[in-house]
Chain A
């Protein structure tokens, strides 16, 4: 069975602080994909990153960085120097061939609030 756990339900930080959103996943598949999406209040899901199970290289994109560690089944997301516009719900998701043909299995999401 596939499972994604985002233990942090809500996080509140002050602007310019760094914040890390945790994601732990479970799967028996050797080939899988991990994603992070941002959902602002408007509701639309914004794609942030995709990682496949064979690529453990960490990635940095501007103020965003991701740490993928297969040894701990984690795919954590760090925002450096947070801004008010970063306020949103962030979802970590897992997809495998499985029963649903690469459909996304979402975590419960982490609501991030960045205050001025």
Chain B
């Protein structure tokens, strides 16, 4: 399968600080990337859809001013958690949409564990 990297893998920060997470598709161009969040013992929930060159589309209940998404190139999307609070502690995982050869598949990054103290 394709390779998607995500950095950092783990972040511990103080309440009120901002955290930036990068998601890169390493071997294909992804016009669309997705950001998901997973709380312990729960499934993955879509936060937003990141489209290269345009504004992200956020799911209901996700604050766009708190979770800033930038998809500046065909291989990079970033998620910035602004003024993080303990309730933002979660596992954040991105995926890149692969449409090569007419297939419709998503490959996931390894995820970022965020702990806000």
Residues of A within 8 A of B (CB): 33, 35, 37, 42-45, 47, 50, 52, 91, 95, 100-109
Residues of B within 8 A of A (CB): 1, 32, 34, 36, 42-46, 49, 51, 57, 59, 91, 93, 95, 97, 103-111, 113
B43→A109 contact, CB < 8 A? yes
B46→A103 contact, CB < 8 A? yes
Q: How far is the CA of A91 from the CA of B43 in the complex (A)?
A: 8
Contact A101/B49 with A47-B105, A47-B107, A91-B44 known, Cβ cut-off 8 Å = yes
Closest 5 CB pairs of A and B: A45-B108, A44-B110, A106-B43, A43-B111, A108-B43
A44→B44 contact, CB < 8 A? no
For A35, A52, A100, A108, which residue has the most chain B Cβ atoms within 10 angstroms?
Answer: A100
B91→A43 contact, CB < 8 A? yes
Shortest beta-carbon distance from A70 to chain B in Å: 17
Shortest beta-carbon distance from B4 to chain A in Å: 10
Q: How far is the CA of A35 from the CA of B106 in the complex (A)?
A: 9
Closest-by-CB residue of B relative to A37 is B108
Q: How far is the CA of A107 from the CA of B105 in the complex (A)?
A: 17
Give every chain B residue within 8 A of A47 (Cβ-Cβ): 1, 105-108
For B46, B59, B108, which residue has the most chain A Cβ atoms within 10 angstroms?
Answer: B108
